[in-house]
């Protein structure tokens, strides 16, 4: 009996090796990327911007530092507490912008202001903003325009119906995403690493549920939006992003991962920009899509962006929403993420929303406080659910408390002077 079991296990292993070998021979570029990804994950190097290859250059404005506050609006003790927490949790950078100026900027572990950061899934929030910019410029009629108007390969199929709104709400109905499926033959990995991932998006995805009825956090969903952007505007994703969004807000450019030279960009991850370029995007949203008096996003776009979607109260139009308060927020359905992201307390601002990416890349935006807080870098050492794990509410709440403390101190001084 034991021999038969061992023989069966050996045959299964041999079949697996033969299959992997066949995939390797059939697509050397894909398997090279797959092995490089596995090695980088093992070494803890997956957060590095230089991991991604090939890339398209993203144009932008010349790097110009944001103005720095002469007198911080955040009480120094709270700024220092937040800075120390960022450094202790392995951040490479921590920035606070409030009230028209940079209140604080710390860079750690050799990172410099001009260096590119690997945004991970914070890139998803950017493609959401780009859809708004495309609507403002008249390239897309509305949120309720069918995606198949641009992805014409889906016309006459069961994938014809989902709208841009469905895709932005991660409720497209297209191919439930299996985040934890790392097998080289999986749809998840091939869509991420294939030199021809547009073929997978167009032809290998399927209709899995009725659009709008479920929430499914998905690389596939965001990457389809890159096709929409390119076909709606007639421009490459990197060019439209740089010329129509980054340059108008004075943000420096960077790079974006593409499947092959001249191929399709990934919009669900893999956008590399300097830290202050992300802060500028946060400022744009905090100011309702207006920059220096010029409206770049449709009126009401930000309010629509942070309106909870029917299938997930924490997700709007490719944007995370801080309310309702939960201790653990799950990016993915229960089937693939058991623990979720820790929030030790409720966010202290009801209108807080955020960019959030793998490894605790995060940018919190609070319009009522004219506040943007950015943390980026590799994930903290401790795993979710273990003592000392990263607390997603601590940095923004510390800064908000610092704003209140500073305001109270100023009021006390004014009262004594009166």
Query: CA–CA separation, 27 vs 397, rounded Å?
Result: 48
Can the peptide bond before residue 158 be classed as cis, meaning omega within 30 degrees of 0? no
**Per-residue pLDDT, 23:** 53
pLDDT in tens, 56-72: 999 999 999 999 999 99
Which residue spans within 253-317 are E strands per DSSP? Answer: 254-257, 271-274, 290-291, 294-295
pLDDT in tens, 89-148: 999 999 999 999 999 999 999 999 999 999 999 999 999 999 999 999 999 999 999 999
For 359-370, give one letter per residue: b (16+ CB within 10 A) or e: bbbbbbbbbebb
pLDDT in tens, 153-203: 999 999 999 999 999 999 999 988 776 678 888 888 899 999 999 999 999
Nearest partner of 284 among 300, 309, 302, judged by Cα: 302
pLDDT in tens, 304-341: 999 999 999 999 999 999 999 999 888 776 555 667 88
Query: CA–CA separation, 145 vs 225, rounded Å?
Result: 13
Q: Identify whether the C-beta of residue 315 lies closer than 8 Å to the C-beta of residue 288.
A: no
**Per-residue pLDDT, 223:** 97
**Per-residue pLDDT, 333:** 65
**Per-residue pLDDT, 25:** 47
**Per-residue pLDDT, 411:** 80
Can the peptide bond before residue 324 be classed as cis, meaning omega within 30 degrees of 0? yes
């Amino acid at each position: 009996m034991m021999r038969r079991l061992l023989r069966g296990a050996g045959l299964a292993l041999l079949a697996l090796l033969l299959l992997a070998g066949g995939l390797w021979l059939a697509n050397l570029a894909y398997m090279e990327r797959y092995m490089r990804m596995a090695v980088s994950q093992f070494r803890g190097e997956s957060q590095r911007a230089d991991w991604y290859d090939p890339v398209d250059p993203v144009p932008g404005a010349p790097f110009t530092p944001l103005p720095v506050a002469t007198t911080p609006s955040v009480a120094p003790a709270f700024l220092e507490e937040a800075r120390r927490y960022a450094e202790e949790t392995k951040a490479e950078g921590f920035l606070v912008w409030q009230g028209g100026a940079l209140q604080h900027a710390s860079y750690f572990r050799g990172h410099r202001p001009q260096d590119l950061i690997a945004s991970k899934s914070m890139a998803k929030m950017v493609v959401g903003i780009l859809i708004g910019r495309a609507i403002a410029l008249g390239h897309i009629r509305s949120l309720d325009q069918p995606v198949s108007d641009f992805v014409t390969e889906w016309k006459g199929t069961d994938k014809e119906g989902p709208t841009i709104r469905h895709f932005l709400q991660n409720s497209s109905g297209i191919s439930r995403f299996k985040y934890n499926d790392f097998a080289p033959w999986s749809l998840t990995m091939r869509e991420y690493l294939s030199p021809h991932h547009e073929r997978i998006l167009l032809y290998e995805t399927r209709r899995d549920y009725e659009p709008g009825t479920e929430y499914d956090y998905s690389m596939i969903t965001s990457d389809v939006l890159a096709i929409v952007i390119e076909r709606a505007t007639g421009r490459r994703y990197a060019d439209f992003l740089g010329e129509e969004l980054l340059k108008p807000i004075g943000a420096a450019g960077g790079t974006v991962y593409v499947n092959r030279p001249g191929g399709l960009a990934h919009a669900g991850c893999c956008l590399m920009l300097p830290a202050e370029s992300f802060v500028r995007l946060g400022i744009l949203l905090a100011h309702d899509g207006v920059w220096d008096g010029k409206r770049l996003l449709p009126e009401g776009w930000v309010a629509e962006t942070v309106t909870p979607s029917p299938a997930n109260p924490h997700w709007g139009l490719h944007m995370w929403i801080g309310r309702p308060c939960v201790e653990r927020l799950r990016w993915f359905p229960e089937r693939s993420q058991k623990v979720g992201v820790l929030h030790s307390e409720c966010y202290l601002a009801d209108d807080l929303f955020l960019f959030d990416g793998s490894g605790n890349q995060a940018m919190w935006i609070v319009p009522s406080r004219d506040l943007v807080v950015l943390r980026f870098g590799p994930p903290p050492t401790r795993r979710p659910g273990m003592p000392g794990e990263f607390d997603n509410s601590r940095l923004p709440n510390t800064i908000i408390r610092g704003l209140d403390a500073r305001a109270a101190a100023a009021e006390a001084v004014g009262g004594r002077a009166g």
